[in-house]
Structure 1
Amino acid sequence: MNEPVKEGQLVGRSVARREDPRLLTGRGRFVDDIALPGMLHAQFVRSTVAHGDITSIDLTAVRDVPGVVAAFTADDLELTDITAQLGRPLSEFVPTAMPVLARDRVRYVGEPVAIVVARNAYAVEDGLEAAKVSYAPLEPVTSEEAALAPGAPLLHEEAARNTLVDVSLFATDGIDEIFDAAACVVHVASRTGRQNALPLETRGVVAHWDDREEQLVLQTCTQVPHQVRTVASRCLRLDERAVRVVVPDMGGGFGQKCVVGREEIAAAAAALRLRRPVKWIEDRKDALSASFLAREQHYDVRAAFDEEGRILGLDADVVCDMGAYSCYPFTAGIEPLMASAEMPGVYKVPAYRVRGRAVTTNKAPTAPYRGVSRPQYVMVVERLFERAARELGLDAVEIRRRNVITEFPYTGVNNITYDPGSYLESLNLCERIVKDEGWYEKRSAAAAQGRHIGIGYSCFSERTGYGSAAFAQRKMRVVPGFDISEVRMDTSGAVTVTTGTMSHGQSHETTMAQIVADELGLDIGKVKLHQGDTERITYGWGTFASRSITVGGSAVRLAAAKLGEKLCRIAAARWEVGPQDVELADGAARLRDGTTLTYEELADIAYLQAHLLPKDIEPGLSATATFDVFNDGTFSNATHGVVVELHEGTGQVEILRYVCVEDCGVAINPQVVEGQCRGGIAQGIAGALFEQVTYDAQGEPSATSFMDYKVPTAHEIPDVLIHHLETPCAFTETGAKGAGEGGTIGAPAAVLNAVNDALLPTGVELDHTPITPETVHRALNLELSS
């Protein structure tokens, strides 16, 4: 299944990352490294109550604090709200406006109420302490059950029963009869903990007004620079031309930075008002408690099976706690719509019914986080298969074999067409590796010694390369999808590439250069990528949903191919042959007889001797291309196998072995793909075993530092064995599928199944994450006491 890499070809090779020399020697430039003349520092007065009406804001004492330059409320700045809307009828979707600064009411602890600007970071903190804000507290809504309860306080008057989205996308006729007649019906009720994406670099912005260009310039760490530009211009009532967004190096995002934040807009407004640069850097407390969160979901799902273990139907109810507001541009619909549309996953599910809801509570808002609902619904579906296997007396891997999709293209009950993948092959290989390493024998030997070792699997797909057609199905007013790239060669034969995607650690400077260098027959050192500047990039949707290589890389390849065609045409005209007789290699155009024109020579003609060009060839060497996906996207897939040991005395879960067999189509750079896998798996393990933000009855967040928010370290994350399969994608220009989220998607299910396998003698089954040591300890001691 893996095609050998051709001699001299860069795509498919683990080329050294071109970003590393700069980043590893301290020459990276992040937002907090930026210092402009006269720069001021900003922080925010934040709500101390979860739900309440603002009765007064007194910033008089703030303005008297030494070093404080200004302090503004919402009334002072007069900003338009950030509004995220779907095009669905109000019966299914309720839009909410998110004010840049809270005006009359606050809806979560940490909500920004006012901005304080001072000469340095110390003075601004002193200014915050002098702020006086009074509230008339309202009853907080801190759980899904409280939000949906009859008579519950409403966060938004327009949202009945605190419901922002309520959709029933699929309901197969006769599904109740299918369940009634089934040989086996299993049920899983699962909850997953609220998480923080936790990028190493917190959010931040440096904003200043450029008099010469008459532009407000925002240097900020965002995955979606053009969307930030759009929102900033609308909130500040500026022409979009008058706002420029530039992204320097970025230390992670994971989805938290693919929505538009309020603080960046407020800091920009302060800079515009004061005509001085303003910097805001989010501190870790605010990042943990007041930034965008994700993952708090509740699944109530049944599955019907026949006597042979073949699935007959899936019936699901999904409720997602989305916090206080919809985010821009993805809205509160992002999690329930993802879960509802894609839950059948890799399995041949003939009947399906689902209801998906997004409820609003007095918690920090939700943004997409790596995987978006897929780690949760994959975990639930994999638990259903494990439970059915036990009830039917089947092997847990065998029941999956009987149900995975094996014939492609396959159109599922969810009306999604799956392109070719290696679902069965990855499952079989993963199981074989675990068996060949002797883990089944080690499990039996451990049981004889009174130890608790378990083996678990998860088999799943990752929908990637969402194009406009896929996003349009969600009926969003803002429909992401396409990407635009320009490839330009200068007179030295060097190439500059632009992309509308935005790297925050994914190695775009390397992988995009590999694509261009191969297409043009050019040394990779001659290729430079530009990204994250709304003045240099015509337009782009940024980086999310594993779209950078699938969509952005395809646009880059098409643009490079267009430039290559022009080079061939110029050379052909000089030699008086047809363009088809010219090939590009080793930085030159050449004929079969060995005649060559170097790129420098061709560029001299294109730029400096344009009179030599035929009339049908324009001067210059540049080409622009767009790419969109007009089908249902493309599906990467993988199987994860995990071996754990549970420790009686502490309840700790130790991961002894982790195997990942993945297929993301053509791996542009296998080492980069492996890095994506390992990083995603670490985040998946974190959600399975460690991380959770909880709230008390008054809506106060529990995890405001790393003392309380349990982040795994290198000690808890095992080495990961990765095997690559390769099913090239027919819908992208490079044959690549997305690789960004698969690790995160598969890990929680595999870990939870392994823990349950180890708990099998106790009769206890766990369906919630994170799995705490207390829970494991109680389960093991139940066995011991019995």
Structure 2
Amino acid sequence: MTSAVPKGWVGSSVARREDPRLLTGRGRFVDDIHLPGMLHAQFVRSTVAHGVVTGVDLSETLRVPGVVAAYTAADLEMGDIVAELDRPLTEFVPTAMPVLARDRVRYVGEPIAIVIAKDPYTVEDGIEAAKVTYEVRPPVLSDQQALAQGAPLVHDEATANTLVDVSMFATEGIDAVFAGAHQVVRVQTSTPRQNALPLETRGAVAEWDAREEQLLVRTCTQTPHQVRTVMAGCLGLDERTVRVVVPDMGGGFGQKCVVGREEIAVGAACLRLRRPVKWIEDRRDALSASFLAREQRYDARAAFDAEGRILALDADVVCDMGAYSCYPFTAGIEPLMASAEMPGVYRVPAYRVRGRAVTTNKAPTAPYRGVSRPQIVMVMERLFERAARELDMDPVEIRRRNLITEFPYTGVNGVTYDPGSYLESLDLCEKVLKEEGWYERKDTAAAEGRFLGIGYSCFSERTGYGTAAFAKRKMAVVPGFDIAEIRMDLSGGVTVTTGTMSHGQSHETTLAQIAADRLGLDLAQVKIHQGDTDRVTYGFGTFASRSATIGGSAVARAAAKLADRLLTLGAHLLDTTPDEVELGPGRVRRCDDHDRSVSFADLADVAYLKAHLLPKGADPGLTATATFDVQGDGTFSNAAHGVVVELHPGTGQVEILRYVCVEDCGVAIHPQVVEGQARGGIAQGIAGALFEQVTYDEQGEPSCASFIDYKVPTAMEIPDIAIHHLETPCAFTEGGAKGAGEGGTIGAPAAVLNSVNDALRRTGVELDDTPIRPATVLLALTPVGVPA
């Protein structure tokens, strides 16, 4: 059996199939759902960062006209959400996160009670009428506070505010390497708390299906099966009695790949009332009380020889994870990611790292696009920049001398890297900027007293973490594999059901391209179905750039299985053997005579309606199911970013003049989608480098309840971004694709920071923290005679 079908869809930037629906207002998001008799829910939230709840009085709430019900945790009797690692308690301390706070609140915005009313306006009146009293306790608002001797405990059941404390690798003799090194450089850097800011805030609509005896929850989540599992557990239901369906979703960026408390409470209220209940998170809650990320602090040093080759790396990582562990990734997600992957694209012979997660009285942390890799890349790139200055070397050349160039390469961190284009990406990035004349413009600007700088970052992005990779983190829930099912109907078209979940990545197009190529179908004949826990046995959704690598590979395998069934049936109907037929466009044909063929529609007619004509022993129908799981350490995309900035002395503003990205994600299924992912990620990386920061006052009150206070870049601040593609096919996935979802975000902060420092070179000032504030730049420029 062979396939002579031209492989024309993969690699083509075809028109996105989602766009007509979304651009003409036919998309259906959670807030577009309106059901007969539907009620609206919001939450009474804590107004203090840390305290004992001494009383919750909802009597006045229930008197508000239009309020139907108001419940505390005691009223709904829900279980806790507990994220666990299978680790000794000396390394990991689990935290139970109640769906609604009971006797203790641990951050401003923590949900205490749920109020349900007839419309979304009345429910706000009901919330305002609620009375909650507290015995206020001192809040813990930074990792330094959390680690200080005698600090208040965020969780009384814990003996300290450290939830995870791991020391890893510790190459033998590393101290002697540092002692004998020609040059040792040190970087101390920190990044602030950020919000992932999906365009669509979180939300859920729950209804009880009396006929099916099933709780149906429509919610915007990246991981519908995990929501189903946790909801069933918290509500004491069998999993088969909970169905989670995801409609169109306006972004997630990792914030929606964990299970939230509110959607569980909405389901519980629906069960109690037996009426549809809808909750839509408002922007204030989304900014201040939703899952946040990124607050990390690093103290790292690196040893180099006289030729600029790195000899050793030693780092201490502290991550402020907020009040609770997120499910299922736990508080370990950021320090474990940072510790395991810090060496990145460089040949580091000796390595030692300590990673800690601490708990504070702030909203909990969830994964956010890149998960610690923007920080570790920033640390590594700053170390190389600093070493280049100390050794009087070109910053691009010192990178060249240390980049991994022979593959597969097993690093000092025990991770095996598959083939990539690390050196080639950097070379091309530098070449583009040189050919565009930016180095000459920089020299001219310096002669004119202006401040232009050029900065780079080199990095890899581990994509498609399989079960083996996640198992190393010893999580109680081990993501990895995914399942796809493909079913041909009587028209000869197919429906593909996948366990991945699109929230803007164009799965309806890219997964259809994979299936269409494998089967010889027109793209219009492929329908992608996702986000329904009753359609796929289990799936781990979309995060960590896994959809193309794992989900796409499962689709490819399922399509190949269906192709085999079509070939077998076609050979039977053509009165020949399977070895003598091949797939043609929409049909099975004889290899030696293409005029002798049978269409897919005719094959389906036999498979479904004329089963007596099937080969002996063949089952009716044309369906296939396949799984895929990346083996070993996964696969690695890579990129190099080059940035040109100008610093404006009058305002301290950082203006990005040019941004070049050279990326390699293996085989690009849809190059335009890859570019969109890179540009969107770079925009978020620039936001972290220059603008975004969640801050708190001394009482733990977030000071960013609106976009007036939380600065988000617009199109005016994001430059035109040039994308150049290299292609190193992956040997471990079906079709050679690697992931591309997070790379832009990973590389941008380091490249921007390095370009700013290059512009500041003649001031003698170096910056290591983000975001880079105009006031900081202004202060750095002032000593060289620039007026403030």
TM bin, normalised by shorter chain, reads over 0.9
Partner of 1:191: 190
The superposition leaves residues 583-623 of structure 1 with CA deviations (integer Å, 9 ceiling, x where unpaired) of 11210111121111000010011111110111221110000
The superposition leaves residues 19-62 of structure 1 with CA deviations (integer Å, 9 ceiling, x where unpaired) of 00000000000000000000000000000000000000000000
**1:94–1:158 Cα contact (<8 Å) kept:** no
CA–CA separation in structure 1 for the residues paired with 2:237 and 2:6: 53
**One-letter identity of the residue aligned with 1:101:** L
Matching of residue 752 in structure 1 with residue 753 in structure 2: yes
**One-letter identity of the residue aligned with 2:167:** S
Matching of residue 41 in structure 1 with residue 37 in structure 2: no
**Shift, 1:99, TM fit:** 0.3
Matching of residue 461 in structure 1 with residue 460 in structure 2: yes
Partner of 2:422: 423
**Shift, 1:7, TM fit:** 6.1
CA–CA separation in structure 1 for the residues paired with 2:91 and 2:578: 56
**2:209–2:216 Cα contact (<8 Å) kept:** yes
CA–CA separation in structure 2 for the residues paired with 1:388 and 1:108: 41
| Structure 2 counterparts to residues 74-85 of structure 1, below 5 A | 74-85=73-84
Matching of residue 279 in structure 1 with residue 278 in structure 2: yes
**2:214–2:242 Cα contact (<8 Å) kept:** yes
**Shift, 1:134, TM fit:** 0.1
**One-letter identity of the residue aligned with 1:470:** A
Partner of 2:216: 217
**1:149–1:161 Cα contact (<8 Å) kept:** no
Matching of residue 256 in structure 1 with residue 265 in structure 2: no
| Structure 2 counterparts to residues 163-562 of structure 1, below 5 A | 163-562=162-561
**2:635–2:738 Cα contact (<8 Å) kept:** yes
**2:250–2:504 Cα contact (<8 Å) kept:** yes
CA–CA separation in structure 1 for the residues paired with 2:438 and 2:140: 47
The superposition leaves residues 492-534 of structure 1 with CA deviations (integer Å, 9 ceiling, x where unpaired) of 1010001100000000000000000000000010000000000
The superposition leaves residues 397-424 of structure 1 with CA deviations (integer Å, 9 ceiling, x where unpaired) of 0000000000000000000000000000
What SS class does the counterpart of residue 606 from structure 2 fall into?
Answer: helix
**1:55–1:134 Cα contact (<8 Å) kept:** yes
Partner of 2:696: 695
**One-letter identity of the residue aligned with 1:138:** R
What SS class does the counterpart of residue 704 from structure 1 fall into?
Answer: coil
**Shift, 1:785, TM fit:** 6.2
**Shift, 1:538, TM fit:** 1.6
**Shift, 1:160, TM fit:** 2.9
**Shift, 1:8, TM fit:** 5.6
Partner of 1:709: 710
What SS class does the counterpart of residue 132 from structure 2 fall into?
Answer: strand
CA–CA separation in structure 2 for the residues paired with 1:692 and 1:580: 62
Partner of 1:578: 577
**One-letter identity of the residue aligned with 1:753:** N
The superposition leaves residues 422-450 of structure 1 with CA deviations (integer Å, 9 ceiling, x where unpaired) of 00000000000000000000000001111
**1:150–1:161 Cα contact (<8 Å) kept:** no
**One-letter identity of the residue aligned with 1:305:** F
CA–CA separation in structure 1 for the residues paired with 2:300 and 2:347: 17
Give unmatched runs, 5+ long, in structure 2: none
TM-score by length of 2: 0.99
**One-letter identity of the residue aligned with 2:418:** D
Partner of 1:650: 651
**Shift, 1:387, TM fit:** 0.2
**1:189–1:300 Cα contact (<8 Å) kept:** yes
**2:222–2:501 Cα contact (<8 Å) kept:** yes
What SS class does the counterpart of residue 172 from structure 2 fall into?
Answer: coil
CA–CA separation in structure 1 for the residues paired with 2:553 and 2:148: 48
**Shift, 1:170, TM fit:** 1.2
What SS class does the counterpart of residue 643 from structure 1 fall into?
Answer: strand
The superposition leaves residues 252-293 of structure 1 with CA deviations (integer Å, 9 ceiling, x where unpaired) of 000000000000000110011000000000000000000000
Partner of 2:86: 87
Q: Which runs of 4+ in 1 moved over 6 A?
A: none
**One-letter identity of the residue aligned with 2:741:** G
Partner of 1:780: 781
What SS class does the counterpart of residue 161 from structure 1 fall into?
Answer: coil
**Shift, 1:576, TM fit:** 2.8
What SS class does the counterpart of residue 645 from structure 1 fall into?
Answer: strand
**2:31–2:203 Cα contact (<8 Å) kept:** yes
**One-letter identity of the residue aligned with 1:601:** D
CA–CA separation in structure 2 for the residues paired with 1:280 and 1:756: 46
**One-letter identity of the residue aligned with 1:745:** I
**Shift, 1:782, TM fit:** 2.0
CA–CA separation in structure 2 for the residues paired with 1:244 and 1:184: 59
What SS class does the counterpart of residue 543 from structure 2 fall into?
Answer: coil
Matching of residue 722 in structure 1 with residue 712 in structure 2: no
CA–CA separation in structure 2 for the residues paired with 1:614 and 1:623: 17
What SS class does the counterpart of residue 93 from structure 1 fall into?
Answer: coil
Give unmatched runs, 5+ long, in structure 1: 1-5
**1:48–1:109 Cα contact (<8 Å) kept:** yes
**One-letter identity of the residue aligned with 1:501:** T
Partner of 2:629: 628
**One-letter identity of the residue aligned with 1:427:** L
Matching of residue 60 in structure 1 with residue 62 in structure 2: no
CA–CA separation in structure 1 for the residues paired with 2:735 and 2:226: 27
CA–CA separation in structure 2 for the residues paired with 1:766 and 1:703: 25
Partner of 1:659: 660
What SS class does the counterpart of residue 195 from structure 1 fall into?
Answer: coil
**Shift, 1:574, TM fit:** 1.6
**2:40–2:119 Cα contact (<8 Å) kept:** yes
Partner of 1:681: 682
**One-letter identity of the residue aligned with 1:664:** C
CA–CA separation in structure 2 for the residues paired with 1:195 and 1:519: 42
CA–CA separation in structure 1 for the residues paired with 2:95 and 2:124: 31
**2:462–2:636 Cα contact (<8 Å) kept:** yes
CA–CA separation in structure 1 for the residues paired with 2:598 and 2:442: 66
**2:108–2:702 Cα contact (<8 Å) kept:** yes
What SS class does the counterpart of residue 313 from structure 1 fall into?
Answer: strand
**Shift, 1:767, TM fit:** 0.3
What SS class does the counterpart of residue 554 from structure 1 fall into?
Answer: helix
Partner of 1:3: none
CA–CA separation in structure 2 for the residues paired with 1:412 and 1:783: 43
CA–CA separation in structure 1 for the residues paired with 2:464 and 2:512: 20
Partner of 1:152: 151
**Shift, 1:465, TM fit:** 0.9
**1:88–1:475 Cα contact (<8 Å) kept:** yes
**Shift, 1:236, TM fit:** 0.4
**2:6–2:520 Cα contact (<8 Å) kept:** no
Partner of 1:769: 770
What SS class does the counterpart of residue 388 from structure 1 fall into?
Answer: helix
**One-letter identity of the residue aligned with 2:429:** C
**Shift, 1:158, TM fit:** 3.4
Number of residue pairs aligned between Structure 1 and Structure 2: 781
**2:649–2:786 Cα contact (<8 Å) kept:** no
CA–CA separation in structure 2 for the residues paired with 1:783 and 1:531: 58
CA–CA separation in structure 2 for the residues paired with 1:157 and 1:54: 14
What SS class does the counterpart of residue 590 from structure 1 fall into?
Answer: strand
**One-letter identity of the residue aligned with 1:597:** V
**1:560–1:623 Cα contact (<8 Å) kept:** yes
Partner of 2:102: 103
**Shift, 1:691, TM fit:** 0.2
**One-letter identity of the residue aligned with 2:291:** F
Partner of 2:733: 732
The superposition leaves residues 189-228 of structure 1 with CA deviations (integer Å, 9 ceiling, x where unpaired) of 0000110000000000000100000000100000000000
**Shift, 1:629, TM fit:** 1.1
CA–CA separation in structure 2 for the residues paired with 1:778 and 1:734: 52
**Shift, 1:135, TM fit:** 0.2
